[in-house]
Amino acid sequence: METATLTSSFIGTSNRGFALYAQDEVRRLIPGTKCTELSDQEVFLMQCPISREEVIARFGAEEPIFVRHLHPVDATTELNRQESDLHRLAALVSREWSFRTGERLAIQVRKQDRLELPYSPAQVREALTDKLEQLFQIEPVPREAERIVSVYVTADTAYVGLSAPSDNLSDWAGGAVRFQREEDQISRAKFKLLEAEQEFGLDLAAFSNGLDIGAAPGGWTSLLLERGLRVTAIDPGDMHPSLVKHPKLTIYRRNARDVQFPPQSFDLLVCDMSWSPLQMAKLLIPLLDALRTGGTAIVTLKLMHGKPFQTVKDTSRTLAPYLELVRAKQLFHNRDEVTLFLIKR
């Protein structure tokens, strides 16, 4: 079972193409950690020179920007890439851990990209679920579990861990946050703001007046309106026709630099523009007087060159006289971006 040791292993996951940056963060957070890439610049094995408990504590105290998910490796087993692997994995999990009757348990299974197997992750999950239901009468759930069994399958090894959802940074498998696309959804950009709301522990419905800079065609505006806010949208481009007559929406078809508002007009500012971070910051600053003291800003940074840490540092320094950076995180829906959560000074 789980006992404190002087070393520990974890599976870490980043957005595709950002694993090296995630690994740099891990090594700064836990010096001496060795990382081995498992899947196409996205998934990697972390071998840490400190205990599992200390690793989780450090991630909890200072969550990295680019590590979106991790899970402990408490046990491993060799695989032969045959259907007998299903029985081997089910036996391993049922042997290693006990579960309370009725315990809400999520079983999350992933595999290496392009790995050909005679079984799917769903079949692995089904085999484990059947075994644990039979032995312990667990309640299998996809989300809001009490604990998570995580399995990552490579060509010859399965890495298995049991943890609380909070220890994994995200309770989605691999941190891949999925939302249901709506029939009339304006754009997929809406998913970024939905994920930011979850990741930063916000309740968008708690705000009353929102300012959306670079709003067209209106993905973020539409979510704020759904939450009941009055929204002011600024963009020289066209907003989606479904929004233009909304009674709580005011649209300025202008460049943001050409608009002014009275001080303390808004309690929420959002900005998701395909501009360079420096240009975006310079555009925001003249408008920040309109954000109330203590108000919230959610801003997306486009990572347009190979120095993402410096980009976040330079942008937050530029905004620092006006906005305090609470967290910076590369969300699953960010792709080549980072989202900043800031508070007006």
| Same-domain pairing of 275 and 303 | yes
Q: What is the domain-level CATH number for residue 103?
A: 3.30.2130.30
Read off the pLDDT of each residue in 91-110 and give the average, rounded to a whole number.
97
Query: At 249, which CATH number?
Result: 3.40.50.150
Q: Is residue 53 predicted with pLDDT exceeding 80?
A: yes
Mean pLDDT to the nearest integer, 47-65: 96
Residues in a beta bridge with 230? 209
Tens-digit pLDDT profile for residues 258-279: 999 999 999 999 999 988 998 9
Query: Mean pLDDT over residues 161-177, rounded?
Result: 96
Give the Cα separation of 145 and 139 in Å (integer).
Answer: 9
* Assigned domain for 33 exists: yes
Across 118-132, 192-206, 298-312, least confident range: 298-312
At residue 60, does pLDDT exceed 80? yes
How many domains is the chain partitioned into structurally?
A: 2
- pLDDT band for 327, please (50, 70, 90 cuts): very high
- Where among 175, 209, 244 does a domain terminate? 175
DSSP strand pairing (43-48 vs 230-234): unpaired
User: 6 pLDDT band (50/70/90 cuts)?
Assistant: confident
> 157-192 in b/e burial notation, b at 16+ Cβ within 10 A?
ebbbbbbebebbbbbbbbbebeeeeeeebbeebbbb
Same domain, 227 and 110: no
If asked whether residues 194 and 162 sit together in one domain, one would say: no
pLDDT for residue 89: 97
Of the listed ranges 180-184, 220-224, 233-237, 315-319, the least confidently predicted one is 180-184
What is the pLDDT averaged over residues 43-70? 96
pLDDT digits (tens, 9 = 90+) for 109-139: 999 999 999 999 999 999 999 999 999 999 9
Structure confidence at residue 5 as a pLDDT band (50, 70, 90): low
Q: Does one domain contain both 197 and 170?
A: no
Can you tell me which residue has the tokens 């980043």? 14
Q: Is residue 219 in a domain?
A: yes
Last residue of a domain, one of 144, 175, 206: 175
Residue type, 77: T
Mean pLDDT of the chain: 95
Domain membership flag for residue 184: no
H or E element in which residue 49 lies: none
Contact status, residue 323 vs residue 345, Cβ threshold 8 Å: yes
* pLDDT value at 192 more than 70: yes
Residue 103 and residue 131: Cα distance in Å, rounded?
Answer: 14
| Domain endpoint, select from 141, 175, 209 | 175
81 domain residue, yes or no: yes
Residue 181 lies in a domain: no
- Which residues, other chains included, contact 60 with Cβ-Cβ below 8 Å and sequence gap of 6+? 166
> What is the bridge-based pairing of β-strands 43-48 and 8-13?
antiparallel
Tokens found for residue 293: 């003291």
Q: How many residues does the chain have?
A: 345
Confidence of residue 56 (pLDDT cuts 50, 70, 90): very high
DSSP string, 3-58: ---S-EEEEEE-STT-HHHHHHHHHHHSTT-EEEEEETTTEEEEEESS-HHHHHHH
Its domain, for residue 152, covers 8-175
Q: Active-site positions? A: 302
The percentage of the chain sitting over the pLDDT mark of 70, rounded to a whole number, equals: 99
